[in-house]
Amino acid sequence: MAYHHGVRIQENPTSLTAPIIGTAAFQVAVGISPVNLAEDPYGSTNKVKIAYSLAEASAAVGYSKNLKDYTLNQSISATFAKFSVAPIALINVLDPKKHKGTVTKKSYAVDALQAVIDVEGILLDTLVVESGETVLQKDTDYVTSFDNDGYAVVTLLEGGAGNGAKELNVSGEKIDPSKVTSEDIIGGYDVSTGKESGLELVRHVYPLFGMTPGLITAPGYSKDPAVASVMAAKCLNVNGVFTCECIVDLDCTPDGAVKYTDVKTVKERSGCVSEHMQLVWPKVKISDDVYYYSAVYSAMTAYTDASNDDVPNLSASNKAMPVTGLCLDDETDSEVVMDQDQANTVNSFGVVTALNFNGFRSWGNNSAAYPMTTDPKDRWFCCRRFFSWWGNSFIRSYFQKVDDPANYRLIESICDAENIKGNSYATQGKCAGARITYSRDENPITDILNGKVQFHQYLAPYTPAEDILNILEFDPLMLEAALGGGE
């Protein structure tokens, strides 16, 4: 033991920061994950799983460092590891009974009673482990687990049939993410089983968790116009009443937008013009890891809202991101370098990008509806989200009053509550104003007799200060005064 004399310190590594909680931008991510690493590999397909931490996400749908093949890993990593925000809803469409391949028999060395099977995606229940000519029995001769790299580890048990073996022959099955298609992401309704899949499961979110979807994402797959169009459709009439938005990747493969001047053509070709959609381009790098921009942008938006009292009035543009570069979606992940003029050009097409201005920042405020739509409610994505959020809140707040007597007390209670709420948000600077009215002109007696009561609400979220101009002019009079010319 060392001998110490004097004053010493010791630094411990920083503990993992607890995620901040926010639901205004409640993310619903659809994609594929390494379900073989989940607690229930065969019960993690086409089901909505909610996670408040990386550990919960890992248990629900599986998680590994492989961001390229498993798109939900990107959303999970961006949400919990990069922005530390929660919760997130995860919908994995990879089916281990369908999207799978064969692990060919191969010999693996045994060291300290363990053999590491360096193959990704192994389904532990399918492993066949042999020692020589003897087929070993699980839990009698060996046990299995996964290491930090997602590889299966076979541990021989003392006294078992494999005790003392120097090598093992192992075969089995593994999940194959390459077999998942855009059709799996889109999903649908199976008439024979009554089950839903893919994006169709967005409607399950509120009934299951009591939270309305805020942002729908499908990292990577959303670059397919067919997927993007379904995502935009799923933003409307969620559960028949709610509204949300989606973040969509613009295709930046070799067949897509490989330079900033291609963005307009590729966007128009994709047919992405919904005001409930925000298009992002290109992909982003964080050190050696490559992410689809939608995964990072969605997590950043959720973090921005959660840090703002869970109110979505702030634009997600010009926010610092832990990004180290931009790249394309190809085998080489070709680097993309843009200056502000080029980034502004991308914005003019109704597409959000990123800008390196002494550190990478998100850049762009327009929804995909721009420039076809200039209505501030639908052009500015932060305003569009504010309207959706307010409308969803109104429905949830007053659902309990449905079927109450349509009398003055009901009308007054709703008007008072909403106007107090609007004044509060205006005082906080969350909006310029919000007021609600009840007009007899809009409520004829025929409607009242039919059980219909109508209100009229006016919302004024602040638009982003996208263009700040300072006019500089030389003032010769100041120069003359400073030199004493006026004496």
- Phi, psi at 175, each rounded to 5°: -75, 150
> Residue 409: exposed, middle, or buried by beta-carbon count in 10 A (0-12, 13-18, 19+)?
exposed
**Range in 10-24, 186-200, 234-248, 449-463 with the lowest mean pLDDT:** 10-24
For the stretch 362-415, pLDDT in tens is 999 999 999 999 999 999 999 999 999 999 999 999 999 999 999 999 999 999
pLDDT confidence tier of residue 7, bands split at 50, 70 and 90: confident
Q: Which two tokens stand for residue 448?
A: 């009242």
> Residue 331: exposed, middle, or buried by beta-carbon count in 10 A (0-12, 13-18, 19+)?
exposed
- 281, 252 contact by CB (below 8 A): yes
Neighbouring CB atoms inside 10 A of 116's CB total 15
**In this structure, what DSSP letter does residue 137 have?**
P
Q: Which two tokens stand for residue 380?
A: 């500015």
- 93, 46 contact by CB (below 8 A): yes
pTM score: 0.93
The confidence score (pLDDT) of residue 484 equals 83
Read off the amino acid at residue 209.
F
Q: Is the dihedral of CA 479, 482, 483, 484 positive or negative?
A: positive
Of 171, 28, 183, 30, residue with least CA distance to 98? 183
pLDDT confidence tier of residue 11, bands split at 50, 70 and 90: low
Of 174, 200, 162, 129, residue with least CA distance to 34? 174
For the stretch 277-310, pLDDT in tens is 999 999 999 999 999 999 999 999 999 999 999 9
DSSP string, 371-433: TT---HHHHBHHHHHHHHHHHHHHHHHHGGGTTS--SHHHHHHHHHHHHHHHHHHHHTTS-SE
Distance of CA 117 to the CA centre of its chain: 32
pLDDT confidence tier of residue 8, bands split at 50, 70 and 90: low
For the stretch 305-325, pLDDT in tens is 999 999 999 999 999 999 999
pLDDT confidence tier of residue 5, bands split at 50, 70 and 90: low
Spatial separation of the C-alpha atoms in residues 461 and 89, rounded to whole Å: 27
For the stretch 169-179, pLDDT in tens is 999 999 999 99
For the stretch 126-144, pLDDT in tens is 999 999 999 999 999 999 9
- Reduce the secondary structure of 64-126 to three states and give it as a string: CCCCCCCHHHHHHHHHHHHCCEECEEEEECCCCCCCEEEEEEEEEECECCEEEECCCCECHHH
Tokens 């482990």: give the residue: 129
Sheet containing strand 88-92, strands side by side: 48-51, 88-92, 27-31, 215-217, 245-249, 277-280, 351-356, 360-363
Question: Average pLDDT of the chain?
Answer: 94
Indicate if the pLDDT at residue 10 is higher than 80: no
pLDDT confidence tier of residue 2, bands split at 50, 70 and 90: low
Spatial separation of the C-alpha atoms in residues 38 and 94, rounded to whole Å: 12
Indicate if the pLDDT at residue 4 is higher than 90: no
β partners of residue 238:
242
Q: Which two tokens stand for residue 440?
A: 């007899």
Which stretches within 15-53 are classed as H helix?
A: none
The confidence score (pLDDT) of residue 487 equals 53
Spatial separation of the C-alpha atoms in residues 374 and 352, rounded to whole Å: 16
Helix (H, G, I), strand (E, B) or coil at 183: helix
* Diameter of the chain measured on Cα atoms: 110
The confidence score (pLDDT) of residue 22 equals 84
The confidence score (pLDDT) of residue 178 equals 97
What mean pLDDT is predicted for residues 334-345?
96
The confidence score (pLDDT) of residue 1 equals 47
Indicate if the pLDDT at residue 486 is higher than 70: no
- Reduce the secondary structure of 304-373 to three states and give it as a string: HHHCCCCCCCCCCCCCECCCCEEECCCCCCCEECCCHHHHHHHHHCCEEEEEECCCEEEECCECCCCCCC
The confidence score (pLDDT) of residue 20 equals 81
Indicate if the pLDDT at residue 223 is higher than 60: yes
Spatial separation of the C-alpha atoms in residues 60 and 293, rounded to whole Å: 24
Count helices and strands in the chain by DSSP H and E runs = 13, 25
- Reduce the secondary structure of 246-277 to three states and give it as a string: EEEECCCCCCCCCCHHHHHHHHHHHCCCCCCE
Residues 6+ positions from 171 with CB-CB distance below 8 Å:
102, 103, 104, 105, 106, 127, 128
Of 57, 92, 99, residue with least CA distance to 78? 57
Indicate if the pLDDT at residue 15 is higher than 60: no
Interior/surface letters 434-467, b for 16+ CB within 10 angstroms, e for the rest: bebebeeeebeeeeeeeeebebebebebbebeee
Spatial separation of the C-alpha atoms in residues 123 and 95, rounded to whole Å: 12
